Structure 1
Amino acid sequence: MPRSKTLPAELDPSARQLVARLRRLKDHSELTMRQLAAKTGYSAKSWERYLGGVSLPPREAVEALARIAGTDPVPLLALHEIAADSRDGRRARPAVQQQDEQHERDQGQPAGPTAPHSEPTSAHSGPTAVPTPPRAAEPTPGRFPHIALTAGIAALAVALSAVLLLMLRLDDDAGQAAVTTSPRTTAASSPPSYTCRIARVDGRWSAGINQGRDTEIVYGASGADVAEAQCLLRRAGISPGGIDGMFGPLTLRAVKTFQDRAGLTVDGMLGPRSWKALRG
């Protein structure tokens, strides 16, 4: 497996944590960049940028990789949201500085700090004449709201960093802890649901999902035919992972194990002979 490139030093800590987790999921799935692109709809070049820390991946890409790896996407999406907020905060600071300079130009004042000036000394001359001290420079009108805005952004970034550290600690301690999500997020990240209804139909085993079809399927396929095969593999005592209709690494390993036990050619492809053995 090729060694991952070192992430950029200027990468935000939350973005760095997100990319590191996405890299681990990609390596665990044993997918190449082309296979990852085919399964998620994002190009291989895009994934190279995402996993290299060059650009922040979209939420949909993060959810797709989590679904392929069979893991809960909610912690990854929380990291993505914090990384996106930090990125937007950094972009907002130059804009605030430009607004300050524009406001000062509109007021007819120089962009730099105002130099203190001295009042003329008293017109009275004599031994008791005391020079008038210089007046303190007055603050630039309109600057305090922008300073307050900048301070608010900094406080928000600190708060988000604290939340991120707490989430990472809880995630490390509890592992795959149950996380309550909104209905919209759950619906968007949940794969299709299949139920195995194992029964003998005309002397052949069936899971009741693909109407008894023996369609040839290979690694990377998805749908009802894959779910039917997963149910029959589980009936044969070999776990393919979840019954999710995705022909991924776990299902591929289960198919090869079954073919080896049945004395078939171990090629990881479900053709007519493998289907016949599964349904036998």
Structure 2
Amino acid sequence: MAQWKELPPHIAGSERQLLGHLRRLKDHSGLSLAALAGRTGYSRSSWERYLNGKKPVPRRAVEELAQACDTEPTRLIALHEVAERNRTKAPERQTDPTRPPKSVPTQAREPEPEQEQPQGRTAGTPGRTVRLRGMLLALALAVVVSFGAGLLAARAWDDDTPAATTGGSAAGTGYLRGQTYTCEVHRKDGRLRAGHSDTREMLLDINSTGFDVVETQCLLRAKGFSPGVFDGLYDERTKKAVTEFQRSRHLVTDGIIGPDTWQELRG
């Protein structure tokens, strides 16, 4: 099974869930990206962009992937509709928050004095120059401040961002690979929670990463099947703990976290 790239941090939870399902479906089918391109109307490079979160996956591509993998597409289409609806409601933001912002000019060219001459004052007088320079500097400052505020809002916008981290990462920031997270499991609304993710449907398997995996690792420890690590990386130790937990609950012992396993973990 090919190792997937980590999804960009700006991708929202609904779209992240859709891509997780599509990746899992593709892997379980045994099809390579080239083979998938041969069975659908989309090229290998298009599938690479779609499944790695570089470009939103079209609804037609979702349907064709399900058909190529002999899977009923109804649930995938429903997830796609939710992701698309949330995407259109999201505020305009930078495609990649990690990319440095484009440079903003700090000084604009002053127009020739002859372009606009106030009545009673000749072009090129000191009063005219001072007013133009002040207006241009104020405009440039407003552009810089507005751009900075928009960038901060884009980085902060993520309806799936958890609240509990350690090791110097402030609450509300994105998942950091290689960092160990705390596990403070408690019961809320009748379900166990560790404070990293509220999902009950996300599919997780080997090489999955993120706060959904941290939540799984914490809940496994609370159930007596600790994987020994709480870093958000679904490795062999985590999969072994999941398999043992599934066996104890008489679930399908495939080591894959799905809705049934989530229900038992949060119960």
Q: TM-score, normalised by structure 2?
A: 0.36
**As a proportion of its length, which structure holds more helix?**
1
Larger Rg: 1
Greater RCO (Cα-Cα under 8 Å, separation 6 or more): 2
